[in-house]
Structures are given as structure tokens and as C-alpha cells.
């Protein structure tokens, strides 16, 4: 049986390095855009920096994607047009956190209502 002994210094260094990777922040990404892009708008920067707004973005885009995959093509196009109109509204908020949050909450309500209106098999 072969045993490998690590020097105390090496083991301490490895432990410190592994601890550092656990503490180091991971790059933030919202579901609908890349937070690492240098040309983000003021509103996009706020969404990337605010965890709750980032979470709202993830929830909204996931709901939108699921909903569009379940809809007939004509309704899907309408939903996509509504999404583009909503995006313009959100962008008009610029860096106003309260305005951005309200825009997401309003859009989530609309998407939830659209989900309820889907025809479901009996």
C-alpha cells in the first residue's frame, strides 16, 4: 500500500486555494442577457447588480419560454410582440429599481394570466 504525504505548507496552500474558490464571486448572468457585456444599459446593469431583480428576470424569461412553447403559432407571435413592447417599457425605466421591479411584476402577472388561458385537455 502506498501512502502519499503532502507537506504541511502544500496542504495549507491547497486548503486556502479551495476556500478562495468557494468565496470568490461567480460572474452574474441574467437569463435574458449576458451581464458581462461591456455595453449594458443602465437598467441592465441594475438588474445584474440586484439579486432580486436578477431573479425576477430569470423567472420572467423562463415563464415566457415555457409559455411560448405551449402556444399555437398565432398566439405565440402575439405573445412575442407583447414581450417586445414590455421590454421597451422596462428599458424606459433606465436605472430606476422600483420602476424595473414594477415592470417585472406586471409582466409576470400578464404571463400568469396567459398561462391560465391555455386550453387544457380534460
Domain annotation covers residue 7: no
d(CA 60, CA 8): 50
Domain annotation covers residue 110: yes
Q: How confident is the model at residue 121 (pLDDT cuts 50, 70, 90)?
A: low
d(CA 26, CA 66): 27
Q: Stretch 4-8: mean pLDDT, rounded?
A: 41
Write down the pTM of the prediction: 0.71
**Rounded to an integer, what is the distance from CA 20 to the centroid of its chain?**
25
Domain annotation covers residue 55: yes
Q: How confident is the model at residue 117 (pLDDT cuts 50, 70, 90)?
A: confident
- The more confident residue out of 5 and 100 is 100
d(CA 64, CA 62): 5
C-alpha cell at 102: 414594477
> In this structure, are residues 91 and 41 in contact, taking their beta carbons and an 8 Å threshold?
yes
Domain annotation covers residue 80: yes
Total domains present in the chain: 1
> In this structure, are residues 30 and 57 in contact, taking their beta carbons and an 8 Å threshold?
yes
Domain annotation covers residue 24: no
Residue-number span of the structural domain to which 91 is assigned: 31-116
Q: Tell me the pLDDT tens digit for each residue of 58-100.
A: 999 999 999 999 988 888 999 999 999 999 999 999 999 999 9
Q: What is the DSSP string of 50-115?
A: -HHHHHHHHHHHHHHHHHHHHS-HHHHHHHHHHHHHHHHHHHHTTT-HHHHHHHHHHHHHHHHHHH
- Greatest mean pLDDT among 19-23, 27-31, 75-79 lies in 75-79
In this model, does residue 13 exceed pLDDT 60? no
Mean pLDDT for the chain?
A: 80
C-alpha cell at 103: 415592470
Amino acid at each position: 500500500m502506498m501512502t502519499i504525504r503532502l507537506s504541511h505548507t502544500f496542504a495549507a496552500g491547497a486548503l486556502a486555494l479551495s476556500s478562495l474558490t468557494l468565496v470568490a464571486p461567480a460572474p452574474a448572468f441574467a437569463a435574458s442577457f449576458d451581464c458581462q457585456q461591456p455595453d449594458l444599459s443602465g437598467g441592465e446593469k441594475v438588474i445584474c447588480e440586484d439579486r432580486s431583480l436578477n431573479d425576477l428576470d430569470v423567472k420572467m424569461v423562463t415563464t415566457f419560454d415555457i409559455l411560448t412553447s405551449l402556444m399555437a403559432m398565432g398566439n405565440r407571435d402575439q405573445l412575442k410582440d407583447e414581450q417586445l413592447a414590455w421590454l421597451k417599457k422596462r428599458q424606459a425605466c433606465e436605472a430606476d429599481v422600483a420602476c424595473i421591479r414594477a415592470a417585472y411584476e406586471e409582466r409576470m402577472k400578464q404571463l400568469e394570466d396567459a398561462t391560465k388561458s391555455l386550453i387544457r385537455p380534460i
